[in-house]
């Protein structure tokens, strides 16, 4: 299909077909970007801003006594993760996923960032044009990770048919997956995998164990890989929230096609120090990912610092994790309470860094054009949330708001949001 943009606008004469598609996607994302004031509060990026001081203090403690040796400036000898770091990660995951037995460090690959890890895994699981099933709405970075370099076709299993609450993990049924699978196959798309985010982004929902098992059984029947992104595994803060990791399940239907990805960016407030983790029981897949890990390696110094941090198990158990959970609870409680006062419907979940908010009642017409107008108005008044269309939500009017920020910041956000909504209700 011909590009709607002139070649001189985006440089298509210089790019390959793949490069042109990537550039067109980037252009579409930025061409209608609203003008933001200098004091904009951006709550569209999922960063943990409540516990970052604990990580800062810990990193300063570690680096204060860190001796930089010449060999640490060279390429990592293990470009898929040092033995020490993979051992520390295996112990962390064994403990906090309540794994079914001690995890083997040899089944772990360390790369630069969770999304980069997903791209590397996609390169060895999919051929160009193959498909992946993903429940929608879904974090848009996943779509980019699958579709850009690996050129995988993303097939969404929509869960918002009712138009009220677009995502409920109980609604992810085998019947819906089968229907999406059959439709894709009829269109000539070979589905190779099912992808799940647990806890979910953008809703904060957690898949019950029964739903996870049904998904795994469905995948086995069709010889599909199952990739479970558990990047918010340690950000389950609700006192009544029950998280089930895929690593904890006994009797997996097809362990050789079951893979888990995780990273430090969300649970450890390190989005600017990306380090991603792949766990797979399949040695062939691990070997293939490791063969391309030189493109995506984590530096020696970064690995050393992360290793020392994870080895301080007392700090993790007694200080960081409980304090992080408490701070997340406080900020979540404040934001959801203020949203209640404003009359803004939202999902109340106990996991992740965000609240999934329904602002349909503030749209004169429920449409994506009006959703974008509200998004633009919010930005112009100093707050940025992510509109639901970005996450492939079928129902207009939904927004993701990051709550993992200091309460003093959230107070300003609520004040600005309230003024915009009050103006719209006049």
Within 8 A by CB and 6+ apart from 194, the residues are 132, 133, 134, 177, 215, 218, 219, 224, 225, 226, 227
Question: How many angstroms separate the first and last alpha carbons of the chain?
Answer: 45
Average confidence (pLDDT) over 179-184: 96
Question: How do 386-387 and 191-197 pair as beta strands?
Answer: unpaired
The owner of tokens 């490069």 is: 19
Structure tokens at 97: 């996923």
**Phi, psi angle pair for 6, to nearest 5°:** -70, 145
* 261 close to 278: Cβ distance less than 8 angstroms: yes
Confidence of residue 5 (pLDDT cuts 50, 70, 90): very low
| Predicted pLDDT of residue 66 | 87
Whose CA is closest to 377, among 28, 37, 31? 37
Model pTM score: 0.92
Whose CA is closest to 173, among 201, 208, 200? 208
Q: Is 66 exposed, middle or buried (0-12, 13-18, 19+ CB in 10 A)?
A: middle
What is the spatial distance between Cα 80 and Cα 109, in angstroms, rounded to a whole number?
5
- Give 234-256 pLDDT, tens digit per residue: 999 999 999 999 999 999 999 99
Confidence of residue 4 (pLDDT cuts 50, 70, 90): very low
What is the spatial distance between Cα 344 and Cα 334, in angstroms, rounded to a whole number?
14
Within 8 A by CB and 6+ apart from 223, the residues are 257
Confidence of residue 30 (pLDDT cuts 50, 70, 90): low
SS3 354: strand
- Give 50-105 pLDDT, tens digit per residue: 999 999 999 999 999 888 888 888 888 888 999 999 999 999 999 999 999 999 99
Confidence of residue 209 (pLDDT cuts 50, 70, 90): very high
What are the C-alpha distances in Å from 218 to residues 120, 233, 347, 421? Answer: 25, 24, 28, 44
DSSP 229: E
What is the spatial distance between Cα 97 and Cα 316, in angstroms, rounded to a whole number?
14
The owner of tokens 């996609």 is: 122
Of 31-40, 321-330, 382-391, give the lowest mean pLDDT range: 31-40
DSSP 281-331: S-HHHHHHHHHTGGGGPPPHHHHHHHHHHHH-HHHIIIIIHHHHHHHHHHH
Average confidence (pLDDT) over 10-32: 71
* 365 close to 424: Cβ distance less than 8 angstroms: no
> What sections of 34-130 are H helices per DSSP?
52-64, 83-96, 114-125
- Give 275-295 pLDDT, tens digit per residue: 999 999 999 999 999 999 888
The answer, yes or no, to whether residue 1 has pLDDT greater than 50, is no
Within 8 A by CB and 6+ apart from 414, the residues are 335, 338, 339, 342
Confidence of residue 20 (pLDDT cuts 50, 70, 90): confident
Whose CA is closest to 215, among 263, 166, 267, 159? 159
Question: How do 276-280 and 41-42 pair as beta strands?
Answer: unpaired
* 51 close to 320: Cβ distance less than 8 angstroms: yes
What is the spatial distance between Cα 49 and Cα 39, in angstroms, rounded to a whole number?
17
* 262 close to 256: Cβ distance less than 8 angstroms: no
Q: Which uninterrupted H or E stretch holds 136?
A: strand 131-136
The answer, yes or no, to whether residue 3 has pLDDT greater than 80, is no
What is the spatial distance between Cα 265 and Cα 52, in angstroms, rounded to a whole number?
11
- Give 252-274 pLDDT, tens digit per residue: 999 999 999 999 999 999 999 99
């Amino acid at each position: 299909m011909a590009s709607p943009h002139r070649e001189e606008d985006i440089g298509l004469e210089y790019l390959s077909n793949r490069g042109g598609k990537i550039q067109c996607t980037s252009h579409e994302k930025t061409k209608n970007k609203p003008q933001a004031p200098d004091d904009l509060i951006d709550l569209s990026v999922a960063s943990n801003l409540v516990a970052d001081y604990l990580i800062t203090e810990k990193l300063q403690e570690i680096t204060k006594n860190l001796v930089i040796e010449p060999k640490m400036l060279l390429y990592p000898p293990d470009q898929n993760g040092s033995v020490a770091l993979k051992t520390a990660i295996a112990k962390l995951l064994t403990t906090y996923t309540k794994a079914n037995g001690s995890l083997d460090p040899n089944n772990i690959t360390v790369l630069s960032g969770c999304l980069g890890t997903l791209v590397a895994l996609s390169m060895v699981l999919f051929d160009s044009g193959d498909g992946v099933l993903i429940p929608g709405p879904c974090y848009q970075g996943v779509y980019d990770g699958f579709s850009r370099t690996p050129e995988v076709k993303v097939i969404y299993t929509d869960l918002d048919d009712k138009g009220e609450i677009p995502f409920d993990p109980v609604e992810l049924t085998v019947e819906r997956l089968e229907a999406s699978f059959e439709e894709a196959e009829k269109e000539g798309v070979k589905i190779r995998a099912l992808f799940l985010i647990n806890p979910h982004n953008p809703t904060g929902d957690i898949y019950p164990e029964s739903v996870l098992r049904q998904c795994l059984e469905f995948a086995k029947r069709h010889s599909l890989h199952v990739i479970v992104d558990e990047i918010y595994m340690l950000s389950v803060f609700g006192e009544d929230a029950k998280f089930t990791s895929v690593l904890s399940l006994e009797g997996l239907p097809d362990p050789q096609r079951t893979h888990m990805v995780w990273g430090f960016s969300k649970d450890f407030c390190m989005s600017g120090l990306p380090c991603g983790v792949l766990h797979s029981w399949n040695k062939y897949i691990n070997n293939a990912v490791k063969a391309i890990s030189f493109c995506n390696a984590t530096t020696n110094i970064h690995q050393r610092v992360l290793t020392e941090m994870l080895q301080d198990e007392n700090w993790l158990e007694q200080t960081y994790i409980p304090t992080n959970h408490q701070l997340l609870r406080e900020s979540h409680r404040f934001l959801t309470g203020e949203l209640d006062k404003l009359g803004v419907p939202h999902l109340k979940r106990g996991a992740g860094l965000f609240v999934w908010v329904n602002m349909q009642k503030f749209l004169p017409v429920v449409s994506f054009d009006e959703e974008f107008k509200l998004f633009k108005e919010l930005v112009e008044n100093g707050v940025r949330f992510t509109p639901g269309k970005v996450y492939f939500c079928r129902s207009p009017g939904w927004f993701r708001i990051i709550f993992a920020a200091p309460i003093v910041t959230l107070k300003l956000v609520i004040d600005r949001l309230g003024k915009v909504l009050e103006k719209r209700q006049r």
